Chains A and B, each alone.
Chain A
């Protein structure tokens, strides 16, 4: 062996050993120490089982709801000044009503100072009342939309966290979508329901004609146990002051209930509300449905409240989780869901493996028979090829999906392509009278660019597929693309090297090809 050949054998040998080392954990993980530098190949959800969800954030709703909060906040500020109310007209506009000129000026000053994102619109005059329309700018609306998506992702993440799902993936997908991957979860329906629940909690007083102020309207709300109840059109407290929520069993009736602990702001607000309204019913409204409406018996300064009702333990737990993680800024719409059960997943792996192995056997037998000893060399290159390919998948943390396994098999077929191009050329050269060495050199030379051209175009397809595909298809694109690179290495360089150091002559002394 020449020096160069020694170097080459060292290099290829090292590559092989490194690949085997990386792949070891996939087969003999139990025998390896923890510091072993290798990785298991990531399996896609279609092989290990799990769910893939795409939810879109209804950002228009977020803007509407944010504006509603601004209107409520203005209301509170104005009430202190003894001035009249504001109400939300639509997703972009609110209308503030004032009694008299001085009140109008106060409103305008207040808004200009505290709510710079609102721009003044038209002013209508009705007797001694002025109705001012304020508008939220599109820029601000866009910001709210963007923020709502970020916030939704964080809320979803903390909810999934509470359920203790192993290795979930939660990512932004496009301008207003969230992509969630949940490897096999035992209670998928509960998790999905929890993720999607807006969980907007509101505390409102029950409407009592004698005790509700005349300016406040009454709105009917459905009740959890059926029927309707009239509540005041005034939100006294919302769920964002909740510091902690937990499920407990009520000592009175042994039913599950959710206890809330309020943060310092909440403590103060709750103290005020309960102090001012002893004897009245305070309705706890979740996503526009009244959960319960207990009577305020005494002023509560400790900042704890209880939501009790006819909950199952499951419902109570879900409620506690969503209250702890905070409300979603907007509802989430189900756009896409794909679930594969673990049983089908493992069957798919089995089928894919069988198909790949049978393909490999067929190809190997064919090459050995058709091309003799050179065919056996080609087979060795094929085996190296697949080994390098699998090692790359493990190394890069790429995900192997079922189409990806198909991609492995396809890579086999295309690797053979490269070998055939070279070998047929060598045969032709020999037919035309060249010596074995010359024929081999010419074969590799002339085939070089052809093989590159052919594989680069397939690589192009692979990259396009990767760019435009999702999930399992991406897995296919990755396997295909990596496979082309390993094919180029093994079919051009390792193969040539093989011809250099092995004689590959048949019994007659001719090149066995």
Chain B
């Protein structure tokens, strides 16, 4: 059985300008939203505050809960439905870490005929929130450094840069998708972003591997051969298309199932992985190789002379 026909010949390189445009739009939207949202976009992990998952004995309307929160004096509370079994809600607000938040919340949010029970409580003081945020930025930084180093050793620096630009692209757009859908950036989403950094580069490696194979073939025929890098890239992407689409499809299917069925606690993370997978596939096909091509043009074809594996 074959989903993608064996000998496709889609002119990916030609399409790249449309891809650039589309990507720039998505990146711009994401960056804009990121910058204008300020601290709101961060979950309690990164900015401190309280997040609780509350369940009730009987069914409760979310509007009634919101009203009750206001009445109890909880300022700027964000109340959402918490997916999973049963009637659960999540409520987030800013407060100092308090010794008895659970008791206070349960008494403040209970109705006379419908008692509240706090099932999950996260309280993060602002100092720790700040530290977790710094650690997160460093984590992303080191992951990218590691990838650049590894790719430079296995391939060559220009490839590494092309791959990492595609990674930046993926992370920015995925993070943008999360905040645009009203999610807050918390530890789970960060974990998803880092996983995407490590995983999305896989596809890029597959294609680069193929490109290198073709370059070596061309060089074998005549050591001073000139080759059309653009054509080789197109060929490589087309050859590996079947594999790229299928594996990304399976990973995305898994993430989709996790997102819809995994319960509220992994929902954010699975969503980010799902979107990241889609964006990663797109960037592998349309962004990574073209960037290398562009760098090659600026660098005056040094690639042809440097490849010697």
Contact = CB atoms under 8 A, between A and B. Distances in A.
B251 interface: yes
Size category, B interface: 35 or more
Contact of A189 (B102, B188, B209, B254): B102
Contacts of A188: 102
Contacts of B198: 457-462
A347 B86 contact: yes
Nearest to B127: A335
A413 B251 contact: yes
Interface in B145-162: 146-147, 150, 154
B124 interface: yes
B249 to A, nearest CB: 8
A369 interface: yes
B262 interface: yes
Does more than half of chain B's interface fall in helix, strand or loop, or is it mixed? helix
Contact of B146 (A54, A410, A417, A464): A464
Nearest to A404: B266
A453 B154 contact: yes
Contacts of A459: 198
Given A406-B270, A464-B194, A338 B122 contact: yes
A337 interface: yes
* Best-surrounded residue of A412, A427, A449, A465 (most CB of chain B within 10 A): A465
Contact of A370 (B1, B86, B194): B1
B282 to A, nearest CB: 17
A469 B191 contact: yes
B243 A421 contact: yes
A351 B259 CA distance: 10
B269 to A, nearest CB: 6
Interface in B223-254: 239-240, 242-243, 246-247, 250-251, 253-254
Interface in A51-81: 54, 56
Contact of A465 (B147, B150, B191, B265): B191
Contacts of B201: 454, 457
Given A343-B119, A363-B253, A468-B138, A410 B262 contact: no
Contact of A347 (B6, B84, B118): B84
A362 B251 CA distance: 11
Interface stretch (A19-27, A82-90, A249-257, A353-361): A353-361
B143 interface: yes
A192 to B, nearest CB: 6
Contact of A402 (B101, B103, B209, B266): B266
B128 A417 contact: no
Nearest to A410: B254
Contact of B125 (A335, A416, A464): A335
A454 B202 contact: yes
A416 B250 contact: yes
A161 interface: no
Contacts of A354: 261
A351 to B, nearest CB: 3
A366 B205 contact: no
Interface stretch (A4-12, A31-39, A434-442, A472-480): A472-480
Given A458-B202, A461-B198, A406 B262 contact: yes
* Best-surrounded residue of A192, A344, A350, A371 (most CB of chain B within 10 A): A344
A334 interface: yes
A177 to B, nearest CB: 9
B123 interface: yes
Nearest to A347: B85
Does more than half of chain A's interface fall in helix, strand or loop, or is it mixed? helix
B97 A363 contact: no
A347 B53 CA distance: 13
B102 A339 contact: yes
A460 B146 contact: yes
A350 B273 contact: no
A458 B199 contact: yes
A431 B194 CA distance: 38
Given A369-B1, A413-B250, A431-B6, A458 B209 contact: no
A263 interface: no
Contact of A410 (B98, B119, B273): B273
Contacts of A456: 150
Contact of A457 (B128, B147, B251): B147
A235 interface: no
* Best-surrounded residue of A428, A431, A458 (most CB of chain B within 10 A): A458
A417 B202 contact: yes
A339 B99 contact: no
Contacts of A477: 191
A62 to B, nearest CB: 18
A54 B129 CA distance: 12
Contacts of A193: 99
A93 interface: no
B254 A359 contact: yes
Contacts of A335: 97, 124-125, 127-128
Contact of A355 (B3, B127, B257): B257
Contact of A461 (B117, B195, B240, B253): B195
A348 interface: yes
B77 interface: no
Given A348-B263, A457-B202, A468-B136, A420 B254 contact: no
A449 B146 CA distance: 18
Nearest to B123: A337
Interface in A343-387: 343-344, 347-348, 350-352, 354-355, 358-359, 362-363, 366, 369-372
Contacts of A337: 97, 101, 121-123
B122 A366 contact: no
Interface string A469-498: 110110011001000000000000000000
Contacts of A372: 1
Interface string B81-103: 00011101000000001111111
A351 B261 contact: yes
Contacts of B263: 347-348, 350-352, 355, 402
A341 B247 CA distance: 37
Nearest to B188: A403
Contact of B121 (A338, A352, A450, A457): A338
A68 B102 CA distance: 37
A301 interface: no
A344 B146 contact: no
12 contacts: A192-B100, A338-B122, A359-B253, A406-B266, A421-B247, A431-B6, A457-B150, A457-B199, A464-B139, A467-B139, A468-B138, A470-B187
Given A344-B55, A351-B263, A460-B150, 4 more contacts: A192-B99, A333-B125, A340-B120, A351-B265
Q: What 7 A-B pairs come out closest when comparing CB atoms?
A: A461-B198, A351-B263, A413-B251, A454-B202, A468-B139, A334-B97, A458-B198
